[in-house]
Amino acid sequence: MNQSNSIRHKIHCLWKIAGFALVGYTAFSPMTYAADSSPALFNINNELLQPEGYREWVYVGTTVTPHDMNNGKAEVPEFHNVYIDPKSFTHWKKTGQFRDGAMVVKELLSVGAKKALTGNGYFMGEFTGLEAAVKDSKRFPDEPGNWAYFMYGMKYPLPRKATAKPTAECNACHQANAKDDWVFTQYYPVLQAAKPNK
């Protein structure tokens, strides 16, 4: 083998190794996707990885249940900002339904200031927690509506993953009270406005 052939051979071998490594990584990677093109990423233990980039998804609305209107014991303090992944929003606009693979995130914030130039009120403070809901008929065939619910808690740094909550703890209230397919669209003006054939 002359020198240039030997270099070519070495490069060829390196490509092969890189190729095997890539195939191995893809085949044995602990992460799997949920339904088609869903942003929900699960590990092999069926735990939902903390979503990334959701503040750049479609923002659908905010509710606020401040402690001082709930005897200091609001269940889910205090502001709740809700986002949906963009593909699911597009699907919703077309069909008025949540697609398989839809993911909705609720981020919690404390009440910060109660007074501003515009008057007295509630103004957002710090981020205080994160929750998510995922609709996936293959992964959660036994959950009512195929919706599973996750809580990352309120202690920062938030854990990187969360297990689905028992049906009775989250799903049941959503099933009984949410306006559209387990989602509280009655409080999300952006989803209401985008819904076709209202």
Q: Which is nearer to ligand HEC, 29 or 177 (CB)?
A: 177
Q: Binding-site residue total for ligand HEC (CB under 6 A)?
A: 22
Per-residue DSSP letter, 195? -
**Residue 134 DSSP symbol:** E
Span near ligand HEC by CB under 6 A; candidates 49-57, 89-97, 116-124, 163-171: 163-171
Rule CB under 6 A: is residue 184 a binding residue for ligand HEC?
Answer: yes
CA dist., res. 9 & res. 4, Å (int)? 9
- Residue 135's region, left for phi above 0, alpha for psi from -120 to 50, else beta, is beta
What region, left, alpha or beta, does residue 143 occupy, with left being phi > 0 and alpha being psi -120 to 50 degrees?
beta
Answer yes or no whether residue 102 interacts with ligand HEC by CB under 6 A: no
Nearer to ligand HEC, 11 or 49 (CB): 49
Task: Output the smallest distance, CB 154 to ligand HEC, in A.
Answer: 12
83 forms part of the interface with ligand HEC (CB under 6 A): no
Residue 130 touching ligand HEC (CB under 6 A): no
Q: How far is the CB of 16 from ligand HEC (least distance, A)?
A: 46
174 binds ligand HEC (CB under 6 A): yes
Q: What DSSP line would sit under 26-43, residue for residue?
A: HHH-SEEE-STT-S-EEE
* Distances from the Cα of 41 to the Cα of 17, 29, 64, 103, angstroms: 28, 12, 28, 10
Binding mask 61-80 for ligand HEC (x = CB under 6 A): --x------------x---x
103-111 and 115-116: which strand pairing? unpaired
Binding site for ligand HEC (CB under 6 A): 63, 76, 80, 82, 104, 106, 131-133, 149-151, 165, 169-170, 173-174, 178, 182-184, 187
